[in-house]
Amino acid sequence: MNLQQYFSAHFRGALAFSGGTDSAFLLWAALESGAEVQPFFIDTPFQPRWERQGAEALCQSLGVPLIVLTAEPLSCSKIRENPSNRCYYCKRLLFTTLRRGAEAAGFSLLWEGTNASDDANDRPGMRALAELEVESPLRLCGLTKAEIRRRSREAGLPTWDKPSYACLATRFPTGRVITPADLARVETGERALMALGFSDLRLRLRDWGALLQLPGGQQPDARRRWGEITEALGSLFPEVRLDAAARHSD
């Protein structure tokens, strides 16, 4: 089954839209197939502000309105306390919020952007998607990340080479309570690093400060400019260290 066939059989749905490579391609493909699709962005403290701005800009360029819903994951102790299966509870909250918003807008079918390269056995949130009957058309049609990037580039989508950006809660080690102040520090720090020209990065919280993870190709530049980096982050973390291992995508 290809996407055209999928959307011929499932021609009306609500899409969980982050503005990332996968959900952007899925939105474009649904529109190209003539499906009636309504994208929803779920705004939480776990998403940096620039992600919502990017999602809004992309929907505007595609000529489709974006509905923004809000959720408060920190109001749930099973998310805030950050157990090893936090992602399960978070997905339950997010997609329950999405279902309510979608039904209020007249949509019963929910879509999201998991692709065929994602390991379902390694993602606790996948169980929540199954329980809430959320469909993943890219995965169902066997589309890998590499294929999605190739097709996105051919379609002229600006997200074709956009790095994956996991939610800010992933910067906390398991068992460390997630607080608004720490979320803000991570968001501000990563934004400052992006302003310095670094990309596809993570600032992982540690007891002593933050561990900076960068792709291997950016590490020599980071070592040369370490003074700039520590100056940019010095007011946010007592200590910053560069992970010697090259960062790989989440």
Q: Report DSSP letters for 133-180, one per residue.
A: TEE-HHHHTT--HHHHHHHHHHHT-TTTTPPP---GGGGSPTTSPP-H
Q: Alpha-carbon torsion 120, 199, 91, 136, what sign?
A: negative
Output the CA angle 49-52-53, nearest 5 degrees: 85
Mean pLDDT value of segment 53-64: 97
Tens of pLDDT, residues 109-150: 999 999 998 766 556 778 888 899 999 999 999 999 999 999
Domain boundaries defined on the chain: 3-155, 179-242
The neighbouring-strand residues paired with 147 are none
Q: Determine phi and psi for 238, rounding to 5 degrees.
A: -65, -25
Residue from 174, 210, 215, 172 nearest 192 by CA = 210
The neighbouring-strand residues paired with 38 are 14
65 Cβ contact list (under 8 Å, min separation 6): 38, 59
For position 128, what pLDDT does the model report? 86
Q: Which CATH architecture describes the domain 3-155?
A: 3-Layer(aba) Sandwich (3.40)
pTM of this structure = 0.92
Structure tokens at 4: 């055209």
CA distance 250 to 247: 9
For position 122, what pLDDT does the model report? 54
For position 219, what pLDDT does the model report? 97
Tens of pLDDT, residues 157-167: 999 999 988 89
Whether pLDDT at 58 is above 80: yes
Mean per-residue pLDDT of the chain: 95
Structure tokens at 195: 């302003």
Tens of pLDDT, residues 189-243: 999 999 999 999 999 999 999 999 999 999 999 999 999 999 999 999 999 999 9
Residue from 147, 112, 139, 125 nearest 42 by CA = 112
Tens of pLDDT, residues 62-116: 999 999 999 999 999 999 999 999 999 999 999 999 999 999 999 999 999 999 9
52 Cβ contact list (under 8 Å, min separation 6): 19, 41, 43, 68
Widest CA span in the chain: 56
* The residue to which tokens 């993943």 are assigned: 136
Residues in the chain: 250
Residue from 78, 71, 51, 90 nearest 170 by CA = 90
Structure tokens at 189: 């720090």
